[in-house]
Amino acid sequence: MSGNSVWWKEAIVYQVYPKSFYDSDGDGIGDLPGIIAKLDVLQQLGVDVIWLNPVYVSPEVDNGYDISDYQAINPKFGTMADFEHLLAEAHRRGLRVIMDLVVNHTSDQHEWFHESRTTRENAYRDYFIWRDPVNGREPNNWAGHFTQSAWSFDDATGQYYLHIFSPQQPDLNWENPAVRQEVQRIMAWWLAKGIDGFRLDAINLIAKAPGLPDNRGDGRYIFSIENFCNQPRFHDYLREMNHAVLAQQDVLTVGECAALTVDDAIAVSAPDRHELNMAFLFEHTDYYNTVGKDPQKLKEILTRWQVGLHGRGWVGLAFNNHDQPRVVSCFGDDTRYREESAKLFATLLLTLEGTPFLFQGEEIGMTNAVYATIEEYNDVGTVNLYREQVAAGADPQVVFERVRATSRDRGRSPYQWDGSADAGFTTGIPWIGVNPNHVAVNLQENLDDPDSIFHYYRRMIALRKATPALVYGRFEAVPAPDALFVYRRIGDEGSCLVVLNLSEESVEFAAEGTLLIGTHAQPEKNRLQPYEARVYRE
Ligand code: GLC
């Protein structure tokens, strides 16, 4: 392995969305004993780290991203003893566990907020961001992520509080040193329990622009992150956190940082900055999830990040997560070329520089879930937007089509274990509908078929682990026809050539080398089939 080998650069992370993973007690909701029951298959896949979406006590307005007790487990998921058991069982199999740290905001049911809202003068008032009305209205024009305004008025004390997300997720006031110390205390408490790191939720939103100025633009509410994203103080807070808690620990820290440029990512992840190990790369998913599928743009974005970050910073790479649609549905082809395109994205994910993050279900080619009525949706963003727009007089059917095209529930449907009723996820009534395609798309089918997507991921993961160039090597784009993405990873011990056909056409291309892995059983020497992917040793 290269001179400076680092475990979290070599690790493959698997994201478990506990609510939709496996239900052990028949209440329709996945739980911690359910995760324990399935650890063997994760070990078989070859991943190294499990990232758990929030499992803390929460009223679940935003599926656990509204925490009311940071040091207790949501009884729907189990007990603290179950959590400790999960940690021990994971560690016994060589799997590490990282937790989701949601500290841009709490739940409005957290005791800090209960206290905070009682009077204007109390020890917790300043834990949150309270402001007087301006001309009888909100203190500024910031729009919220899940509501029109980012402010809600509280009758009890006659002030507004800030919530970048839903009104039930009040933003913490990071300018208050007491808040920062509470967060550090909570982090240290979990680390002392033996967890292996954190995914830091919405972390580059914690610092707000001094004075909370209006966003630019006309209109009552302006949706923009200009005044609360990547503010300079954000870096001060991370460095303080690093110094106080992380510096002495060999843990994985990954920041969920919206709207990050290459330079911003370096500022967060360069080792000499002492902030985090890595930030997630979102520019590529943001592009294809909003603008649409565009192979040229995907190549341009990934190339720019690979070249710009090498030797300077580190990213977490993903094509799927709980907030996004499944890549096989929105960039691949989830009908005719489902297997091929799922395997192509496995190849891309596992041959780039950056720590790969898999989202549960991608390793079996799960596709976007689509539901027939608004009642079947759960995502707070979807439901709030629908309610607000219908209340404002819009046609409910038009609004429904609009919100379901962006709903985060597309990727949150229950894991498809087998072809039985409700995919073997639960014996009860699932909290959200199971995708009907589970009859054909499920883990059992994948395990039984040596050419399945699961076994391809398993082989691709093994290849990455055996090939230092795929972890540490320098990226170099290779000129190729538009439909193809071709690049090298050049390492100390040799280089690999990766050839990907991002289109539904067959494309001529001559590649040389020893074929290490490929998506197609009988590759043609000078031609790639739709969504064909290959990795060569040169
Ligand atoms: C992050 C989470 C998302 C959540 C939001 C608010 O973006 O990934 O699921 O709704 O933060 O906590």
Spell out the residues 6+ positions from residue 261 whose beta carbon is closer than 8 angstroms to its own.
Answer: none
> What secondary structure does DSSP assign to 199-252, as a single string?
EETTGGGSSPPTT-PPPSSSSS-B---TTTSS-HHHHHHHHHHIIIIITT---E
Ligand 1 atom with least separation from CA of 66: 12
Q: Give the total number of structural domains in the chain.
A: 4
Both 324 and 385 in a single domain?
A: no
Both 477 and 531 in a single domain?
A: yes
Which domain covers residue 530, as residue numbers?
A: 471-537
Q: Which residues of the chain have pLDDT under 70?
A: 1-3
On whether residue 221 sits in a domain, the answer given is: no
Question: How many Cβ atoms from other residues are within 10 Å of residue 327's Cβ?
Answer: 27
Residue 529, domain CATH: 2.60.40.1180
On whether residue 267 sits in a domain, the answer given is: yes
Residue 84, domain CATH: 3.20.20.80
On whether residue 220 sits in a domain, the answer given is: no
Both 362 and 423 in a single domain?
A: yes
Catalytic residues: 201, 256
On whether residue 214 sits in a domain, the answer given is: no
Whole-number Å distance, alpha carbon 519 to ligand 1 midpoint, is 34
Both 254 and 314 in a single domain?
A: yes
Residue 157, domain CATH: 3.90.400.10
Question: How many Cβ atoms from other residues are within 10 Å of residue 330's Cβ?
Answer: 19
Residue 475 is predicted with a pLDDT of: 98
On whether residue 32 sits in a domain, the answer given is: yes
Whole-number Å distance, alpha carbon 202 to ligand 1 midpoint, is 6
Both 263 and 387 in a single domain?
A: no
Ligand 1 pocket test target in 62, 106, 110, 163 with most atoms within 8 Å of CB: 62
Both 516 and 475 in a single domain?
A: yes
Both 426 and 337 in a single domain?
A: yes
On whether residue 514 sits in a domain, the answer given is: yes
Give the bridge partners for 514, in sequence order: 537
Residue 248 is predicted with a pLDDT of: 87
Residue 4 is predicted with a pLDDT of: 73
Both 491 and 393 in a single domain?
A: no
On whether residue 60 sits in a domain, the answer given is: yes
On whether residue 239 sits in a domain, the answer given is: yes
Residues with CB under 6 A from ligand 1: 62, 65, 102, 165, 201-202, 256, 322-323
Q: pLDDT, tens digit, for every residue of 306-354? A: 999 999 999 999 999 999 999 999 999 999 999 999 999 999 999 999 9
Ligand 1 pocket test target in 66, 147, 165 with most atoms within 8 Å of CB: 165
Both 291 and 346 in a single domain?
A: yes
Is residue 387 packed enough to be buried (19+ CB in 10 Å), middle (13-18) or exposed (0-12)?
A: middle
Q: pLDDT, tens digit, for every residue of 138-157? A: 999 999 999 899 999 999 99
